[in-house]
Homo-oligomer: A and B are copies of this chain.
Amino acid sequence: VLGKCLGSQGENTAMDNVATERRAEESHRQDSANLLIFIMLLTLTILTIWLFKHRRFRFLHETGLAMIYGLLVGVILRFGVHVPRNMNNVTMNCSVNASPATLLVNVSGRFYEYTLKGEVSTVKGHDVQDDEMLRKVTFDPEVFFNILLPPIIFHAGYSLKRRHFFRNLGSILAYAFMGTVISSFVIGLVMYGCVTLMKAVGQLGGDFFFTDCLFFGAIVSATDPVTVLAIFNELKVDVDLYALMFGESVLNDAVAIVLSSSIGAYQPAGDNSHTFDATAMIKSFGVFLGVFSGSLALGVATGVMTALISFCFTKLRDFPLLETALFFLMSWSTFLLAEACEMTGVVAVLFCGMTQAHYTFNNLSPDSQDRTKQLFELLNFLAENFIFSYMGLTLFSFQSHVFNPLFIIGAFIAVFLGRAANIYPLSFLLNLGRKNKIGSNFQHVMMFAGLRGAMTFALSIRDTATYARQMMFSTTLLIVFFTVWVCGGGTTPIYCGCTVMVLQKSHAHFYVFEQVTVSDGTQHRNTKHESAWPFRIWYNFDNTYLKPLLTHSGPPLTATLPACCGPLARCLTSTQAYENEGHQHNDDSDELVLNDGNATMYGDVTVSTDASGTLTTNHKHLSASTMGITSEEALDQELAFGEHELVIRGTRLVLSVLYQDPTEYNAILYYEPFSVNCNIH
């Protein structure tokens, strides 16, 4: 493809160079100013979040707040600012057949390299040179996938409550895989009906195929771990519900992203490219499986490699900076590796995060453990608020919105139906096999808390070239706004209503007295959670082979391997593992599987209530409060890094029984400085 054009020869003078330089400077100045707008937006959001937290105003979540600020700035940019038309753009009408990724322009003998930024829409008779300002604040959609989503998803994986996650893995996988597929197809079908209706009424302004409907179903089926994590973390909900919801919404995203790309890959042979074709469908399914398992394998592989590096280079612990940098770089390289191998980086990063938390985390020095947690917490916070404020802004700055009332109403109904078809039938089926049933209250909460967020947005903004995609994008934006503002803000009262009601009825005593049994400083937890046999097998395998091989916290291999492997085991076991042998059962991994009435389970947590209702918690780990953190943060941290959830649950439930008024209960949860005394055993 080589287009040659005729034209007059320009002169190559120094003045040209100066002019070019000045234009580049001007463009840079403009970029800085635009980025500054976002930074100021984030700063404002942070101050307002703080104000909300401080004033105990909890009806709007921080992500909702970020969106509102984004909206305001969008309105100002759209209607308030009139930038003089920038004449630096040159329009070339050329004979190129396609738009290449890079373009070399021969300007009078000197070659300049240009990179493709995207197509500029010319819808509605807009002059292409109009709205320079709005086009400038529009980011390349790939920024979301390559810069903003990875830290969010990694953080989700890294902070997954492993114990409860694995205990509920069966249900989580069912919801995430089957549920997302069901939801996608239900939404796809409803939308197809809607689109057919629109075509009949004459409301459709362009093509909208069945594959587009399915694609729409896939992107709006991704529930957001960001908002779920944030809301549930603040609510301090029941850990099992939390693990189910969070695990589902995290894996959900991974499934939705791969599903949508497989639907995009569905291309039947022949002329009519939008009919059913079994071969193409099987191929799409193959793509789905291949990409998902490939990304999973890559993520786990780099996670294991990091664990091995930090396991072998033991003395790296003496240099927390190097350790943290290594951890960060290895996690980032997972993403790049996956993208370079044509896998899905975001999915790889998720599983990498989970592997890092399960193995590498145990090998890090305490200092690095704190550093990595705080680093990813910060990155997650910034990226999350950036995405949500950009979402608000884009409602006004995006120039090709297609708002179709019929489509929007249809989409809201479809999303509702899709979520219902995911949660209720699956819960019913799962309850047949679970000893610890998923109550109908829990199901309602799951139904209602299925917010759509960053992933849905990123998937829908990725491609807005066609009419169908533009309509999808506009509708998706509205769905996200609705779910975050209405459902996100509403989950608090709904949840409180449900659970407190439940507590005041039959379950209250069950929870409080069964789970928080005080007996001479040692607690025997008699939780009734079963563990399915595949996970018992996995747990045993993990504890016997993987943990000792990859971390310093397991039992030595010499103790777990059969005698014939003695020499091999000895050379693979670190001296630290031997030291751990005596007290290795202190490790949190042992809490992974709780069998019924398991007397061998080791309780490392003591909870006692004295007469005044003050709670005393004793556990073996160096408590957060000795590091100068407030008790509320200590609770937050424990909730976030899943070591003593049971205690906290006990605490919360005892409190909720003591103060049965839901409003007061809420207030106590967040603001009553109840003392948690932590001592080292």
Chain A residues packing against B (C-beta within 8 Å): 1-11, 14, 16-17, 19-20, 23-29, 32-33, 35-36, 39-40, 42-43, 46-47, 49-50, 53-54, 87-108, 110-120, 122, 128-129, 135, 142, 146, 273, 309, 313, 315-316, 318-322, 324-326, 328-330, 332-333, 336-337, 339-340, 342, 345, 366-367, 371, 374-375, 377-378, 381-382, 465, 622, 627-630, 632-633
Q: Is the CB of A94 within 8 A of B7?
A: yes
Q: Is the CB of B95 within 8 A of A8?
A: yes
A26, A88, A309, A622 — most chain B CB neighbours (10 Å): A88
State the CA gap A4–B93 with chains docked (Å).
6
Question: Contacts of A11 on B, CB cut-off 8 Å?
Answer: 97
State the CA gap A273–B632 with chains docked (Å).
68
Q: Is the CB of A367 within 8 A of B20?
A: no
Q: Is the CB of A104 within 8 A of B118?
A: no
Q: Quick one: copies of this chain in the complex?
A: 2
State the CA gap A5–B96 with chains docked (Å).
11
Instruction: Output the least CB separation between A146 and chain B (Å).
Output: 8
Question: Contacts of A10 on B, CB cut-off 8 Å?
Answer: 95-98
Instruction: Output the least CB separation between A639 and chain B (Å).
Output: 14
Question: Contacts of A120 on B, CB cut-off 8 Å?
Answer: 104, 111-113
Question: Contacts of A627 on B, CB cut-off 8 Å?
Answer: 367, 627
Q: Is the CB of B107 within 8 A of A94?
A: yes
Q: Is the CB of B122 within 8 A of A111?
A: yes
Contact among B107, B381, B628 for A99, CB-based, below 8 A: B107
A29, A99, A146, A629 — most chain B CB neighbours (10 Å): A99
Question: Contacts of A316 on B, CB cut-off 8 Å?
Answer: 50
Question: Contacts of A23 on B, CB cut-off 8 Å?
Answer: 100-101
Q: Is the CB of A115 within 8 A of B115?
A: yes
Contact among B50, B88, B330, B332 for A102, CB-based, below 8 A: B88
Q: Is the CB of A88 within 8 A of B100?
A: yes
Q: With A29-B342, A110-B122 given, is the CB distance from A91 to B104 under 8 Å?
A: yes
State the CA gap A104–B313 with chains docked (Å).
53
Question: Contacts of A26 on B, CB cut-off 8 Å?
Answer: 101
A627 to chain B: closest residue by CB: B627
Q: Is the CB of A53 within 8 A of B319?
A: yes
State the CA gap A318–B100 with chains docked (Å).
52
State the CA gap A49–B622 with chains docked (Å).
31
A35, A336, A342 — most chain B CB neighbours (10 Å): A336
Q: Is the CB of B92 within 8 A of A16?
A: no
Q: Is the CB of B333 within 8 A of A40?
A: yes
Question: Contacts of A94 on B, CB cut-off 8 Å?
Answer: 5, 7, 92, 94, 105-107
Q: Is the CB of A90 within 8 A of B3?
A: yes
| 8 shortest interchain CB distances as A-B pairs | A7-B95, A5-B5, A10-B97, A114-B114, A32-B339, A36-B336, A33-B340, A99-B112
A22 to chain B: closest residue by CB: B101
Q: With A95-B8, A315-B50 given, is the CB distance from A90 to B111 under 8 Å?
A: no
Instruction: Output the least CB separation between A658 and chain B (Å).
Output: 25
Question: Contacts of A336 on B, CB cut-off 8 Å?
Answer: 32-33, 35-36, 39
Q: Is the CB of B114 within 8 A of A116?
A: yes
A341 to chain B: closest residue by CB: B29
Q: Is the CB of A378 within 8 A of B328?
A: yes
Q: Is the CB of B96 within 8 A of A100?
A: no
Q: Is the CB of B128 within 8 A of A118?
A: no
Q: Is the CB of B113 within 8 A of A43?
A: no
State the CA gap A375–B3 with chains docked (Å).
50
Instruction: Output the least CB separation between A581 and chain B (Å).
Output: 23
State the CA gap A633–B319 with chains docked (Å).
8
Instruction: Output the least CB separation between A352 and chain B (Å).
Output: 13
A26 to chain B: closest residue by CB: B101
Q: With A46-B326, A318-B630 given, is the CB distance from A29 to B367 under 8 Å?
A: no
A339 to chain B: closest residue by CB: B32
State the CA gap A24–B100 with chains docked (Å).
8
Instruction: Output the least CB separation between A239 and chain B (Å).
Output: 22
Q: Is the CB of B46 within 8 A of A325?
A: yes
A106 to chain B: closest residue by CB: B93
Q: Is the CB of B99 within 8 A of A47?
A: no
Question: Contacts of A103 on B, CB cut-off 8 Å?
Answer: 89-90, 92, 103, 105, 114
Question: Contacts of A337 on B, CB cut-off 8 Å?
Answer: 32, 36
Question: Contacts of A325 on B, CB cut-off 8 Å?
Answer: 42, 46, 378, 381-382
A-B CB contact pairs (8 Å), 28 listed: A1-B87, A3-B90, A4-B92, A5-B92, A10-B98, A16-B99, A20-B100, A20-B116, A23-B100, A26-B101, A28-B142, A29-B342, A32-B339, A32-B345, A39-B333, A43-B326, A43-B330, A43-B333, A46-B329, A54-B315, A89-B100, A94-B94, A96-B105, A99-B107, A103-B114, A115-B117, A325-B381, A371-B378
Q: Is the CB of A381 within 8 A of B315?
A: no
Contact among B5, B32, B99, B381 for A340, CB-based, below 8 A: B32
